[in-house]
Amino acid sequence: MINGILVINKPSDMTSHDVVDVIRRKFKMKRVGHAGTLDPLATGVLVMLLGKATKKFVEFSSFDKAYLATMALGRTTDTADIRGKVIGEKPFDHIDEKSFRNVLKNFIGEIDQIPPMVSALKYKGKRLYQLAREGVKVDLKPRRICISSLDLIDFSLPNAKIFLECSKGTYVRKIAEDIGTLLGCGACITQIHRTKVGPFDIKEAKDLKDISVADVQNINENDKIVYRL
């Protein structure tokens, strides 16, 4: 039995559960989970829990996270990302770097966020993305999240690249969509890359195709992970 954690650099076009299946097959074990879902569009740090380490799911899921995200201005979609159906297009040429930075200030600190329908959040036993595919609309309640930092990394219309550090339960695609709303032109995510989960950094993440037992970080189920982003 293998007990410990694996820090994976998740590739795009795979669900987090796809990664679980790969590790189960590779290590010939069933007791595998992950802490912090990444959707198929997203890449980056995915912490896998193996064996007795799965008992630490709640603790690991509560970690703060950091992301690099790129958004396209002037376009809104039904999924809040570039892969969704376009539901609106507006001019964006009047948006400059200064006005973009000013809008970012509205999202720093504790804010209320309504989760997107295309998410793994459950409603009456079903994932929201499943309900969205069925055309079911749900009146979702806002949830309190915290954005500890939010910075503009690159501004090249129609694209803007941001870096954010945030609490658990933050939906980056919704942040991008809400930024677009305040700018008055709309926006959707084109790329999300998670760079950190608690103390686990992308620099230590392993590509899925290269993992081995030697990459498992042994951890006792009673160990307390202390970290600061």
Please state, in angstroms and rounded to a whole number, the distance separating the CA atoms of residues 205 and 88. 37
Catalytically annotated residues:
39
Please state, in angstroms and rounded to a whole number, the distance separating the CA atoms of residues 187 and 189. 7
Inter-CA distances, 142 with 3, 72, 116, 153, 174, Å: 37, 25, 10, 28, 12
The token duo for 122 is 């459950």
Instruction: Say which DSSP state 39 is in.
Output: -
62: number of Cβ within 10 Å: 13
The token duo for 148 is 């500890």
Q: Which residues contact 80 (CB under 8 A, 6 or more apart)?
A: 116, 118, 173, 174, 176, 177, 188, 189
- Neighbour-count burial of 13, counting CB atoms closer than 10 A to its CB (0-12 exposed, 13-18 middle, 19+ buried): exposed
